[in-house]
Amino acid sequence: MSRRKGAPRGRRSAATSRPVAQGAAPLAPGAPCPCGLAAYGDCCGPFHRGASAPATAEELMRSRYAAFAVGDAAYLRRTWHPETRPARLDPAGPARWTGLEILATTGGSAFHSEGTVTFRAHWADGDGTFGVQEERSRFVRVEGAWVYLDGAVA
């Protein structure tokens, strides 16, 4: 996710100009997952803990969105392609991710080695500013695991 026009000002990730999570903390297993599908403990939580790995590019996209929302920099680094991974990543800051919409996917299944996910990520900041960032992210497999390669903001 990269900064979209009108995105909140303030602290940004060192790798991108995207807004990042405010006051991020681990979620209780029964709390709603930030990606919007299920309870965190049944959804993205196991990916973040390393108990399982996303089987599709869409699952990885959702889990990375949730990692931004909860401030899990370690997971974001682990799931970033080694050739495009930033040296530093700090997912703590003024923006709060408030919702995710998956608009389209191509490839990215258990039978593919690459895929794309087009999504809208909604955010809010402490000033009452709200925004939407639309992006098409590319994912590839490295040693069998899905990783984020790069993205283009619409």
CATH number at residue 130: 3.10.450.50
| 71 inside domain | yes
| 109 inside domain | yes
Tens of pLDDT, residue by residue over 98-141, are 999 999 999 999 999 999 999 999 999 888 899 999 999 999 99
Give the list of residues 6+ apart from residue 26 with CB closer than 8 angstroms, or none: 70
| 8 inside domain | no
- The pTM of the full predicted model, rounded to 2 decimals, is 0.82
- Map residue 140 onto helix, strand or coil: strand
Residues linked to residue 107 through DSSP beta bridges, in sequence order: 115
User: How many domains, the chain?
Assistant: 1
| 126 inside domain | yes
| 63 inside domain | yes
| 17 inside domain | no
Tens of pLDDT, residue by residue over 44-65, are 999 999 999 999 999 999 999 9
Tens of pLDDT, residue by residue over 30-49, are 999 999 999 999 999 999 99
Q: 94 lies in which domain range?
A: 40-153
| 44 inside domain | yes
Rounded to whole angstroms, the Cα distance separating 71 from 8 reads: 17
Other C-beta atoms within 10 Å of 143: how many? 5
CA atoms within 13 A on the CB side of 100: 26
| 52 inside domain | yes
Report the b/e string of 92-119 with b at 16+ CB within 10 A: ebbbbbeebebeebebbeeeeeebbbbb
